[in-house]
Structure 1
C-alpha cells in the first residue's frame, strides 16, 4: 500500500548507511540509495523533524552460521557515509544488533519527543531495516518505508521482504512520495 499520510510527529530513521555495509554487494546502486536517503534527510531537517542515524558496530553473542560469539567491527566499518551530511541536531544510535531499537535508547527518545510515526530508509532490507520496522510496529508506531531508499545484498532478499513482510508492518512509498506528504 502506498503511504497515505504522515503524522505531524514523524521521525526519519536511516539504518546502517555506513562504510562497512556499503562496501559489499547491493541489489541497487549504493550511491542511489544514499542519494535518496540524503533527500529524505534534507526534507526532514528542513521541517525541523527528528532525524535518527543508526549504525552497527558489532554483533550479539549468539552462535550463527557466520560465527560464534559477539564481534566488534572496526571503527572504519561503522563510520556513517559522508553523503548523509550528519548534523548536530541528528540523533545517532549505535548498536550490535539488527534492530535500531534493541539495546539502544531509541524508543525512549521517540517517546520523549511524542513521535507517533517513523519513516525508514537504509540497508539491509531483510536485516536492519526489517528488524527495525518490526520493532517499531510492535511498539505501536505507524511505520512508513521509503522503498527506493532501501536495499539489500541480493535482489531476491529485498523483494521477498518488500512484498512479503513490509505490507504487514506499515505502508511503503518512494522517497519522493514521502517528501511530498511532508508538505
Structure 2
C-alpha cells in the first residue's frame, strides 16, 4: 500500500471485539460511538468494492486468565451475560462478513484467521476495534510476525486510557506499519479503484 491508493483485492479489514461489553465502556481518546461509526464507514467502503471484512469476537467466559498483578478479570467476577458478548448492533455486521471467534487477546492464535486471509490472497490488513493496546495490538504483533503489511485506522480504535492508545499509535504501530485516519483510508480505497 502507498499513501495514494490501496488494492482492495489483497487487503482485508479486521475489526476487533466490537461487542457490547466493549462498546458500552468509557473509552479514550476516541469515544466508543465514534470508533464504531468509523469502523462501519470502513466496512461499508470495503464491501462496496468487493473487499474482505472480518469481525473478530472474544468469548469472555473462555478468555485465558493467568496469574497477573492486575488481571482483567478479578477472581470471583461473574460471567458476562450473553448479550454482553454479542456484537454491538451499531457495528452493523453483515451476513457476507467473516466472523472469527477467539479465546485470547489476539485474533490469530487458535483461530482460522490466517488460513482465511491466505486463501483470499490477502497481504495487507487494516486494523480497528477495541481495545488498541490489547486485542488490536496483540493481533497486529502476530500479523507482523507472519509477514502481513499493516495499516492502523487510528480513529477506528480506542482504549480505556488515552495514554495507552497514543503510545501504541505513536510508537509501536508506526514501526510495524502505517497509521492513518479513517478519511485517509477511504480516500486510498477510492484512488485504488479508480474512483474520484
Fold match, TM over 0.5? yes
Aligned to 2:118: 111
Aligned to 2:42: 40
Whole-Å Cα distance in 2 between the matches of residues 101 and 72 of structure 1?
A: 24
Q: Aligned match of 2:66 in 46, 59, 62?
A: 62
Structure 1 gaps, min length 5:
none
Whole-Å Cα distance in 1 between the matches of residues 56 and 141 of structure 2?
A: 15
Q: Aligned match of 2:163 in 137, 151, 156?
A: 156
Matched residue count: 181
Alignment of 1:84-103 (within 5 A): 84-103=91-110
Please state how far the C-alpha of 1:6 moved relative to its aligned partner.
Answer: 2.7
Structure 2 gaps, min length 5:
191-196
Residues 56, 3 of structure 1: CA spacing in aligned structure 2 closer, same or farther, 3 A cutoff? Answer: farther
Whole-Å Cα distance in 1 between the matches of residues 162 and 148 of structure 2?
A: 27
Alignment of 1:63-82 (within 5 A): 63-64=67-68, 65-66=70-71, 67=74, 73-82=80-89
Aligned to 1:17: 18
Q: Name which of structure 1's ranges 79-88 and 112-121 shifts more when overlaid on structure 2.
A: 79-88
Whole-Å Cα distance in 2 between the matches of residues 46 and 17 of structure 1?
A: 21
The alignment's C-alpha RMSD in Å is: 1.9
Between Structure 1 and Structure 2, whose CA radius of gyration is higher? 2
Aligned to 1:50: 52
